[in-house]
Amino acid sequence: MHAQPPRKNGPASADVADPSLADHTEQGLPIPQRYWAMLVIALALTLAVLDSAIANVALPTIARNLHASAAGSIWVVNAYQLAITISLLPLASLGDRIGYRRIYLGGLILFTVASFGCALSDSLPTLALARVVQGFGAAGIMSVNTAIVRMIYPPAQLGRGVAINAMVVAVSSAVGPTVASGVLAVASWPWLFAINVPIGIAAIVGGFKALPMNPGHESPYDYLSAVMNAFVFGLLIFAVDGLGHGEGLGFVLMEFVGAIVIGYFFVRRQLTQAAPLLPIDLLRIPVFALSIGTSVCSFCAQMLAFVSLPFMLQENLGLSQVETGLLMTPWPAVIILAAPIAGVLSDKVSSGWLGGVGLAAMTAGLLLLATLGAHPDAMQIAWRMALCGAGFGIFQSPNNRTMLSAAPRNRSGGASGMLGTARLTGQTLGAALVALIFGIAPQSGPIVALYVAAGFSAVAAVVSTMRVMQRANPQPA
């Protein structure tokens, strides 16, 4: 597959603030610009990830303030996640056509404006609507985030850039509850969203100055595929969520059938496209497909553990909320340490082996957590959490680097979109499985969920190791 020649005067070059940013080669940006560009990437990604974490903590407060039910307030979270999931691939595909920088900055601007709208919301419907818009903005950031990192760093150092991304996600996820608690201790919940505005403005200004620009191409955008993609992923999310929360089986089956039928025609349409919105052309590359499978299984395992562990620690072991938070901290904290090291190693060592070793360590940690005795001390819990975090950190950066490197350079947007979609798919599946397990086995649910998480992690380790025997498609990347 060959992209059409880049346009001379099209949108892809219309918003270049600094001509040198459009003339970058495959060797990445020069050192001063590289650092500024990565600072912008870190700020924007922090906003997108942190916003999801702080909203979870603030839900009870928001529900009371807006006089909404607990079930209704869930839409503050679900609206955001749904908007991201259904728009990641369409925006990634659009980035391949009009330039990743345009999508990224557009998403960042939309996210910042929507954050202001969230802060001004005075009812649950208006807040949920603002969260939908905010989710589309976050999707603009996430969909092409790693594609831009690929332009910032030279190929020989790509693992370092991907590792910084992984570290930012881990830090944002880890400090989310702490930030939310700190803000709520001194201010009302709208400030959780208002603080995004000055940070977003700073990132926007920096982005126009520092982010590189890539040429687009003239292939017409497939709007029908974008709509079909939204229906397929939207129906799947509702079906999986409904299955986990015990909704009517008939309604859940209708959603699954609807997703399958639309998905069939969606995939058939993608097979006729030169640069499909759903990157089937990339999934034909064995290393890329195996990396996607590894990502889905590993994030499913992590979400199964993250949701079930608080219940195990508090209900089974009788620990307080504060103790639970402290004892779970080693997991994301060790990811922060392991991700950069793994990123540097991934530039020299096979990601198949690194991912296999990391996920094997995570599997061991999950099994050790599931088999804790009735009265473990804090250290016994903490080192098991740390082992899981170390394993996940060793896996994540090399896996993401492999996905990007396996894709041709002009398909970096599609690869970046699939990376985000794989993560969200795994997280959604993991959360739904926890709800399903808790419904079937309410007493032993947390332990069963940890065993299931270990199973997914073990499968991910096997799939990762299979990449050692595969070679990426020899297309130039």
Of 74, 48, 47, 49, the closest CA to residue 60 belongs to: 74
Q: Domain boundaries in the chain?
A: 13-222+273-277, 279-477
Q: Domain 13-222+273-277 carries which CATH code?
A: 1.20.1250.20
Answer yes or no: pTM beyond 0.85.
Answer: no
Predicted pLDDT of residue 444 = 83
Instruction: Quickly count: other Cβ atoms within 10 Å of residue 64's Cβ.
Output: 12
Instruction: Specify the CATH class of 279-477 in words.
Output: mainly alpha
Q: What is the pLDDT of residues 307-351, one digit of tens each?
A: 788 888 877 888 876 777 778 888 888 888 888 888 788 777 777
Handedness of CA 124, 130, 134, 136 (dihedral sign): positive
* Separation between Cα atoms, residue 16 and residue 34, nearest integer Å: 16
Question: Measured at the alpha carbon of residue 177, what is the angle toward residues 396 and 238, in degrees to the nearest 5?
Answer: 70
- The stretches in the chain having pLDDT less than 70 are 1-26, 53, 56-57, 70-72, 174, 177, 216-218, 244-247, 321, 469-477
pLDDT at 57: 67
Q: Which residue has the tokens 């990391």?
A: 358
